[in-house]
Amino acid sequence: MDHVPLRHETFRPGGALKKTTAALLVVAAVLAAAGVEIWTARRRAGFIGRENGPLARLIDASRIGEQTALIASKAHRAGTEANAEVAGFVGERLQRAGLKVWNTPFEAEVYESLAVRLSLEERGEKKAYDLSEPGDGEPAFLAYSPDADLAAPVVYANEGSRGDYELLRKKGIEVRGKLALVRAQGICRSMKTEIAGSRGVAGLLVYPEPRDQGDAAPAFPDGPNTPRWAIPRGTLLRFYRYPGDPSTAREKGIDNLPPVPALGVSQAVAEDLLSRMRGDAVPEPWEGWLKVPYVLAAEGPRVRVVVKGQLVRKNLRNVFAILPGRNGNARPVMLGNHYDAWERGAVDASSGTAVVLEVADALAKLRADGWRPERSILFAFWDGEEAGIFGSARWVEQALRDRFPGLAAYVNVDSAVRANDFVGDVMPGLRASLGRVLAVVRDPATGKTLAETHGAFQLPSFSSDASPFIGLTGTPVAEVGFGRHYPVYHTRADTVEWIRRFGDPGFARAALLARIVALYVGWLATDPILPYRFSEVSDDARKSLRQLESRVASFGEWAPFTRSLRDALDSYEAMARRWDGEERRLANLSSKKVREAAPLVEQAMAAFAAGGRGRPVSYGRGSVLIGPSEEDRCDAEAHASLVDAVRSRDSVAMRAEGDERARAFIQAQQLLRAAEWIAIGPGGPDRRTRN
Ligand SMILES: [Zn+2]
C-alpha cells in the first residue's frame, strides 16, 4: 500500500527514539533527585492486576471474528496479489490504531505449481485419481517438490520416520525405487522427504490419516473432521537447514530443497491405494481409520506421478508497527505472526493475524490512556512463513548484520485456536511470567484458570517464525496458542465457517488468547527489570544432563568432559535462585538503581546466545539452550549440540560443548551478581540495604 512508508529493512533502536530517551532520562533524573520512588511495589508488580480488566473490555471477540473473515476471504499464498492486499489491510489497521507502521519488501523464489497428476497404472486397470477439491481456490501442491514423471509401486510407510523404514526393512520390504504412502502427521513434512531420500524412496504421497485427528467425528461440513476430498498442502523446503528461499540458501552454500518429489492426496485416494495392497497386517500404531486393511505390502499398486513446477522471483513484504517505550536503550519486545497462508487459511494463520492486530489495538489504547511501557513493542507480520519461514528469517539476519543489540523477548502467535487446550512453547526464563498471566484468565468452558488446566511448557519448535530467533540468536522466545493440531490444517476446508461452527464458536478462545498475549507482552514491556526467572535455565540444563545420564549407559566415560559445565551450573544456580527470590525487593528499587541494574539483567539472559555478537553461527546453533532434535529436526531439543556430541561419543566435541555452556553460565552469573550488587548491595545472601 502506498501510504505506508517503505523503509530499508533495519531497525536501530537508538536512532529515532534517542531524543525522547534523552528527554525522559532528564525527567527521570529530576524525579529521582527529588526522591520520588517511581517504581513502587504496587505499580511495578501491577501491570497484570491493573490492566486485566481494561483489556478484557477492550478486546472484542466479534471484531476478531470479522477480521479473520476478512483476511481469510480469499486464498492468500505468499507472492500473490491477494496476499499483498492482506498486507495492505494489516498496515491500515495498525495505522488506525495510532501506531507508526512501515513495511519492508524483499525478493524470494516462490514455487508455482504447473502440474500435479496421479494415475493408477495397473495391468488390468488404468484410471486418473481426482486431485481437485470443491469450491474456489488453488489446486493443491506440496511446494518446492522436484519435478517428476515416474511410475512405481506404492507401499504404506506409516509416518515415514527412520523407525518406520527400519521396520519395513526388517519385514523384508524393499522401498528403494518405490513410492511411499505416508501420513501427513508425525515427523514434519520436510523431514519425511529427507529420510525418504536417504532410503532411496522414489517419492512420497502424503495423506491426512483420520486416526490422527483423535476422534471419529463426522467430516466437515457436518462435523469438524477432514473431508474425504481434502488434500494437504505445505512446503517441502528443509527449513531446519536454513529458513529462507532456495536462492538465498544457495548463496550460503546450503541446499534446502527436498531430495525427493512429493504430492498430497486425499483420504479417498489413500483408501483406494490401500485397498489394493496385499500383505501381513501392520503393527497396531500403524493402523488407521480408513475403511480398508492396513498392510505391509511387498508390492503395492503401480501408479504414475507427475509433478511439475517452477521457481519465480516475487516481491514479498514484512509489515511492522512500533509502540514506542520510554527507554530507547532498553531491548524491545517483539510480537510476531505470519499473514501468508495456504488457501484461505482461516485458522492458519488468519486467526492469529486478527489476534495480534487486536493486541496491537488494545495496547495502543492503553497507551492513549496513560500507560507508558519502559521498552518498545515491535509488532511484526511476516510474509512467506508457509513457503519456508522467509520473512522472519530475513529480519533476524538483517538484525544480526546491523549489530542490533537484541530483543528482550520474541512472542509468536501462529494459528490462534486449533483446539481447546492452551499451549505454551516457551524458552526457560520466560515461563514463570507466562504462568502468572495464565493464573488470571479463565477457560470459558470449565471456568478454571488456565494455570490450573494447561500442560507443561515445552520448547518452541524449529518449524515456525520463532525458529530464526532460536536458530540464529539467543533470543528468549515464547509461542502461544490453543491446541497443536486441527483436522482441516492446510486444506481448502480451513475456513471461517469451520472456526464458527467447530473450531472456536464466537471466537471466544481467540479473544482469550488476545488478552493473554496483551498481558504477557505488556508486562514484559512495562517492567524495566525483566521478569525473567533465571533458575528455569539451570533447571532445564540439569534435566538435560539427567536425561543424558539415563540414556547413555557409559555415563561415567563422558562425565569428566562436562565437569566445567557442572561446576558453572552449581554457582549459577545459587545466584539465580537468590535473584529470583528478590522479586519483592526489586519491585521497590529507586529508579536510579533500576536503570543501572536493568541492562545487566538483559545481558545475563543474552549470555546464553552461542558464539559472539556478529560471529556467525551455523543455523540451529544460535542458542546454547536449544537446537533441532536428531529425530525430527523441525522439533527442538534442550542442549541439542551437547546431546549430539554425547550421542556420537565425540570427546573433543563434548568438551567444547561443555565448556561453551560453562562460559555462558559463568557469564550470566557474573552479570546477575553485578545487577544484585547494584540493586541490593555488596553483602552476602543475608545482606540488607536501604534503597
Ligand atoms: Zn502457520
Instruction: Report whether pLDDT(245) > 80.
Output: yes
Tens-place pLDDT, residues 631-643: 888 999 999 988 8
What's the 492 CA to ligand 1 centre distance in angstroms? 14
Q: Which residues contact 664 (CB under 8 A, 6 or more apart)?
A: 607, 608, 624
Q: How confident is the model at residue 27 (pLDDT cuts 50, 70, 90)?
A: very low
Q: What is the pLDDT of residues 158-199, one digit of tens each?
A: 999 999 999 999 999 999 999 999 999 999 999 999 999 999
pLDDT band for 421, please (50, 70, 90 cuts): very high
Interval between CA 601 and ligand 1 midpoint (Å) = 32
Asked if residue 337 has pLDDT above 70, the reply is yes
The CA 24 to ligand 1 mean position distance, Å, reads 39
Distance from Cα 533 to the centre of ligand 1, integer Å: 29
> In this predicted structure, what is the pLDDT of residue 586?
86
Residue 16 CA to ligand 1 centre (angstroms): 32
Query: Cell numbers at residue 73, please?
Result: 476471504
Task: State which amino acid sits at residue 232.
Answer: P
From the CA of 166, how far away is ligand 1's center (Å)?
Answer: 31
Distance in Å, CA 347 to ligand 1 centroid: 8
Higher-pLDDT residue of 267 and 444 is 267
Give me ligand 1 centre to Cα 509, in Å: 17
**One-letter amino acid identity for 6?**
L
Q: How many angstroms separate the alpha carbon of residue 314 from the centre of ligand 1?
A: 20
Q: Which three cell numbers stand for residue 181?
A: 504412502
Q: How far is the CA of 341 from the centre of ligand 1 (A)?
A: 7
Please say if the pLDDT value at position 688 is more than 50: no
What angle in degrees, to the nearest 10, is found between the helix axes of 591-606 and 651-679? 180
466 CA → ligand 1 middle, Å: 11
Residue pLDDT, tens place only, 608-639: 998 654 556 788 889 999 999 988 889 999 99
Q: How far is the centre of ligand 1, averaged over its atoms, from the C-alpha of 113 (Å)?
A: 20
| Mean pLDDT of the 337-356 span | 97
Is the pLDDT reported for residue 395 higher than 80? yes
Please list, in sequence order, all residues whose beta carbon lies within 8 angstroms of the beta carbon of residue 515, skipping any fewer than 6 positions away.
Answer: 52, 55, 56, 59, 441
Cα(186) to centroid(ligand 1), Å = 17
Contact (Cβ atoms closer than 8 angstroms) between residue 129 and residue 118: yes
For the cut 50, the answer to whether the pLDDT of residue 526 exceeds it is yes
The neighbour count for residue 208, using CB atoms within 10 Å, is 26
Among the ranges given (193-197, 252-256, 318-322, 643-647), the one the predictor scored with the smallest mean pLDDT: 643-647
Whether 377 contacts 332, CB under 8 Å: yes
Q: How far apart are the CA of 609 and the centre of ligand 1, in A?
A: 26
- Name the CATH code of domain 110-311 (choices 3.50.30.30, 3.40.50.300, 3.40.50.1400, 3.90.380.10): 3.50.30.30
For residue 71, report the distance from its CA to the centre of ligand 1, in Å.
Answer: 14
If you measure from the C-alpha of residue 399 to the centroid of ligand 1, how many angstroms do you get, rounded to a whole number? 23
| CA 625–ligand 1 middle distance (angstroms) | 24
CA of 548 to the centre of ligand 1 (A): 33
Per residue in 453-503, pLDDT tens? 988 999 999 999 999 999 999 999 999 999 999 999 999 999 999 999 999
The ranges assigned to domains in the chain are 47-108+313-526, 110-311, 535-679
CATH number, domain 535-679: 1.20.930.40
462: CA distance to ligand 1 center in Å?
12
How many angstroms separate the alpha carbon of residue 262 from the centre of ligand 1?
A: 20
Average pLDDT in the 74-83 region? 97
In single-letter form, the type of residue at position 265 comes to V
DSSP states of 209-263? -GGGGSS-PPBTTTSSBPPTT----EE---TTT-SS-HHHHHHTT---S-SS-EE
pTM of the model: 0.91
Span from the CA of 389 to the centroid of ligand 1 (angstroms): 10
Q: Quick one: pLDDT at residue 41?
A: 40
Tell me, yes or no, if the two domains 110-311 and 535-679 fold the same way.
no
For ligand 1, the distance from its centroid to the CA atom of residue 461, given in whole angstroms, is 12
| Range in 16-20, 342-346, 423-427 with the lowest mean pLDDT | 16-20
User: Could you tell me the distance, in angstroms and rounded to a whole number, from the CA of residue 232 to the centre of ligand 1?
Assistant: 14
From the CA of 571, how far away is ligand 1's center (Å)?
41
CATH class of 47-108+313-526: alpha beta
Cα 338 to ligand 1 centre (Å):
7
How many angstroms separate the most distant Cα atoms in the chain? Answer: 94
Ligand 1 geometric centre to CA of 337 (Å): 8
Query: Quick one: three-class SS letters along 268-301?
Result: HHHHHHHHCCCEEECCHHHCCCCCCCCEEECCCC
How far is ligand 1, taken at its centre, from the CA of residue 51, in Å?
A: 29
Ligand 1 centroid from CA 234, angstroms: 10
